[in-house]
């Protein structure tokens, strides 16, 4: 795992509980029904057990998925389990699934410092000293990104940091690759609330 990605993950908090996992899936797959958070979460939890439609058949998979969906129902008949009342016997399963998900960012966001290399189209490489604070929704977006997108995002945040809290998804300039320029060298610190 590249250094920046390791640092972002190390600065964050792993998703280890039922509530943490549900929060992630609700953000990533809003809504209920086909393609919603609950269906995707159940599919991934069954996958943690190596249960797929191919391994157990369609009918058995549907039965297992329906049984598991009861974990996320609330109300009297389910003992008010709901989302925030995890079953202790399933704690290891939630922790295992959480290890495959992006971490929750620190409460105050990330403080990123160092040197980043970039270039405009066919221009020569340029380096910039970065001293950026990324908070709120942008901090979670950063934690969710793949490494290349993460570096580009830090560069975009730096380039748009004019006091207006610009988006971290502008398209120029482009991040320079290590074969074109020197490797970017960034340090990430967690900002606690």
The band of 167, judged by pLDDT with boundaries at 50, 70 and 90, is very low
- Stretch 156-182: mean pLDDT: 56
Contact criterion met (CB below 8 Å) for 108 and 190? yes
Distance separating alpha carbons of residues 168 and 157, to the nearest angstrom: 5
Contact criterion met (CB below 8 Å) for 172 and 117? no
- On average, the pLDDT of the chain sits at 78
Report pLDDT for 4: 79
Beta partners for residue 141, in sequence order:
none
* Alpha carbon of residue 40 to chain centroid: 15
The band of 79, judged by pLDDT with boundaries at 50, 70 and 90, is very low
Coil vs helix vs strand at 137: helix
pTM tops 0.85: no
Distance separating alpha carbons of residues 116 and 183, to the nearest angstrom: 8
Report pLDDT for 76: 45
pLDDT in tens, 20-71: 898 889 988 887 778 889 999 999 999 988 898 888 999 999 999 998 888 8
Residue 150 has pLDDT above 90, yes or no: no
Greater confidence (161 vs 78) lies with 161
Report pLDDT for 184: 73
Q: How many CA atoms lie within 13 A of 11 on its CB side?
A: 26
The band of 163, judged by pLDDT with boundaries at 50, 70 and 90, is very low
Residue 127 has pLDDT above 70, yes or no: yes
Q: Where are the domains of the chain?
A: 3-8+104-190, 18-85
């Amino acid at each position: 795992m590249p250094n920046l990605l390791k640092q972002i993950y190390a600065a964050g908090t792993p998703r280890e509980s039922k509530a943490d996992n549900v929060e992630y899936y609700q953000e990533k797959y809003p809504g209920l029904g086909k393609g919603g958070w609950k269906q995707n979460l159940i599919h991934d939890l069954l996958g943690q057990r190596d249960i797929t439609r191919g391994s157990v058949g369609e009918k058995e998979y549907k039965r297992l998925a329906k049984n598991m969906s009861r974990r996320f129902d609330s109300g009297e008949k389910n003992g008010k389990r709901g989302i925030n009342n995890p079953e202790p016997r399933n704690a290891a399963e939630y922790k295992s699934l959480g290890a495959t998900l992006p971490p929750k960012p620190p409460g105050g966001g990330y403080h990123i410092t160092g040197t980043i290399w970039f270039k405009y189209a066919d221009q020569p490489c340029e380096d910039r000293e970065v001293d950026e604070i990324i908070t709120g929704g942008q901090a979670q977006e950063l934690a969710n990104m793949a490494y290349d997108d993460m570096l580009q995002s830090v560069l975009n945040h730096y380039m748009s940091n004019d006091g207006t809290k610009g988006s971290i998804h502008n398209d120029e300039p482009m991040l320079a690759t290590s074969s074109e320029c020197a490797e970017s060298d960034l340090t990430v610190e967690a900002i606690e609330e």
